């Protein structure tokens, strides 16, 4: 039986932390992946999670925003100190708030969107964990705010909590000079915040360690042994297409994610076949479609941080839309539910299982999918003004194809692709195919729901 990657990390962490002059906190599996990746490739860009909000010109008071952000960050260990490697072991070194708030100058002839995009591309490799960047449209009546975090410090649940807390702190600025309720101050998080964060991470690591055993290895070997290793990887020159669909409800709402898995898989196969990336002989082999999944372990404090895993779906080429049965999504959904039973298996263990089962897959993802529920993430409200969330095209991607779906008053689907690998005409055709598959599944679920 192989040694657990998580158990080996915990042994190294305890050794490194035992005689450290400052407090060191352990990292979740996802955090370690982000940190190790940037250490191995110092020239690569950090994984950044940005939200973009538009406000009427003159809304944002930068100094007030900076004070609010620093006060909020001081409550959360993940936004204080910095990620470091001590004796070869990735850790979080406890310290003060790791925050930057700044106005970004828009170049002559440029736009606020271009200025923010360039600023985020220059994200320092060693921090800060949270940046709030404001740029004003030179000839418009709006200013744009980027609320951006190092992905090693946040997940989707953290984004919702953070936007709410920053808005509240901005509103209270100057009215209450006391420390936070957990004893935090501008110097850093208080004892209770540190204890809660440590407990949450340790529970996450325990779950990851338990999910790395033989049963999980066998499951992921069966599921991913047929991955082709088509040639995924990061993309820097990217384009974006968007479409708004009606919000799904009833049976259709429950089917949104497996429907997206099928639709994105179909689009990925179309693109990779057109580009010649699928290796000769791979035929109908599966592509590695990654998606973030996770949450706080049962019983864990609601600590802000990165408590997720990247799961991998073996995306197989599907039949034409006209040949798909109304119930054709059921088998895929059943297999996906089985995967969720092993959702805590660390990504590195999953890669090892796939390769042991005979796949040439390196671990590079051929496509990425994210789905967010906007009802769980409020807009950032500054001075009583709610920001209008917007999106920026052209940002780097962790895979040659990335699809993001936001479910709120409607279902917004954003399709971003690597311009250096896939011609625009192929991307448009793949996106059309994705939407056709997605509409088919959601309409089929609506029909089934109406006959229940």
**What would the pLDDT profile of 43-57 be if each residue is shown by its tens digit?**
556 688 999 999 999
Beta-carbon neighbour count of residue 105 at 10 Å? 11
| pLDDT higher than 50, residue 377 | yes
- Closest of 224, 252, 229, 254 to residue 342, by C-alpha: 224
**What would the pLDDT profile of 254-267 be if each residue is shown by its tens digit?**
889 999 999 999 99
d(CA 343, CA 300): 17
Give the pLDDT confidence score for residue 244 in this predicted structure: 95
**Buried (b) or exposed (e) across 160-174, using 16+ Cβ within 10 A?**
bbbbbbbbebbeebe
CATH fold of 5-208 reads Chloramphenicol Acetyltransferase (3.30.559)
d(CA 220, CA 350): 6
| pLDDT higher than 80, residue 187 | no
* CB 260, CB 438: distance < 8 Å: yes
**What would the pLDDT profile of 106-118 be if each residue is shown by its tens digit?**
999 999 999 999 9
Give the pLDDT confidence score for residue 156 in this predicted structure: 87
Beta bridge partner(s), residue 418:
238
| pLDDT higher than 60, residue 395 | yes
| pLDDT higher than 90, residue 327 | no
CATH 3.30.559.10, the chain: domain bounds:
5-208
| pLDDT higher than 50, residue 96 | yes
**What would the pLDDT profile of 189-214 be if each residue is shown by its tens digit?**
999 999 999 999 999 999 999 998 89
Tokens linked to 301: 């404090």
d(CA 162, CA 381): 12
CATH 3.30.559.30, the chain: domain bounds:
212-450
Predicted TM-score (pTM) of the model is 0.91
| pLDDT higher than 60, residue 284 | no
Give the pLDDT confidence score for residue 21 in this predicted structure: 82
The CATH class of 212-450 is alpha beta
- Terminal-residue alpha carbon distance, the chain: 49
| pLDDT higher than 90, residue 240 | yes
């Amino acid at each position: 039986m192989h040694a657990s990657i998580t158990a080996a990390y915990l042994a190294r962490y305890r050794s490194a932390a035992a005689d450290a002059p400052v407090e060191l906190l352990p990292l979740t599996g996802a955090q370690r992946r982000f940190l190790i990746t940037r250490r191995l490739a110092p020239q690569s860009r950090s994984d950044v999670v940005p939200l973009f909000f538009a406000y009427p010109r003159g809304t944002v008071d930068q100094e007030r925003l900076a004070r609010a952000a620093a006060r909020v960050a001081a409550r959360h260990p993940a936004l204080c100190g910095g990620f470091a490697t001590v004796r070869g072991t990735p850790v979080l070194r406890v310290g003060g708030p790791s925050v930057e708030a700044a106005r970004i100058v828009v170049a002559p002839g440029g736009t606020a969107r271009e200025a923010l995009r360039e600023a985020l591309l220059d994200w320092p490799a060693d921090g800060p964990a949270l940046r709030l960047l404001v740029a004003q449209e030179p000839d418009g009546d709006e200013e744009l705010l980027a609320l951006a975090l190092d992905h090693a410090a946040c997940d989707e649940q953290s984004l919702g909590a953070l936007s709410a807390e920053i808005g509240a702190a901005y509103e209270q600025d100057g009215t209450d000079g006391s420390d936070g309720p957990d004893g935090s101050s501008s110097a850093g998080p208080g004892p209770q915040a540190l204890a809660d964060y440590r407990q949450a991470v340790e529970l996450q690591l325990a779950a990851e360690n338990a999910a790395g055993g033989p049963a999980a290895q066998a499951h992921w070997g069966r599921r991913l042994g047929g991955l082709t290793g088509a040639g995924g990887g990061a993309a820097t020159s990217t384009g974006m297409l968007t479409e708004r669909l009606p919000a799904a409800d009833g049976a259709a709402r429950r089917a949104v994610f497996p429907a997206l898995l099928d639709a994105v898989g179909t689009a990925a196969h179309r693109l990779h076949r057109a580009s010649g990336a699928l290796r000769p002989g791979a035929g109908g082999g599966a592509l590695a479609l990654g998606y973030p999944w996770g949450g706080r372990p049962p019983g864990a404090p609601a600590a802000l941080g990165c408590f997720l895993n990247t799961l991998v779906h073996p995306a197989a080429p599907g039949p034409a839309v006209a040949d798909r049965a109304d119930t054709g999504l059921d088998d895929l959904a059943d297999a996906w539910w089985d995967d969720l039973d092993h959702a805590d298996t660390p990504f590195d263990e999953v890669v090892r299982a796939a390769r042991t089962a005979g796949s040439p897959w390196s671990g590079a993802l051929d496509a990425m999918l994210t789905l967010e529920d906007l009802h769980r993430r409020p807009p950032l409200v500054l001075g009583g003004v709610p920001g209008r969330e917007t999106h920026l095209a052209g940002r780097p991607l962790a895979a040659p194809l990335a699809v993001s779906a936001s479910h709120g008053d409607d279902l917004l689907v954003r399709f971003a692709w690597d311009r250096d690998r896939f011609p625009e005409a192929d991307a448009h055709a793949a996106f059309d195919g994705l939407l056709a598959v997605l509409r088919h599944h959601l309409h089929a679920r609506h029909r089934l729901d109406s006959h229940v």
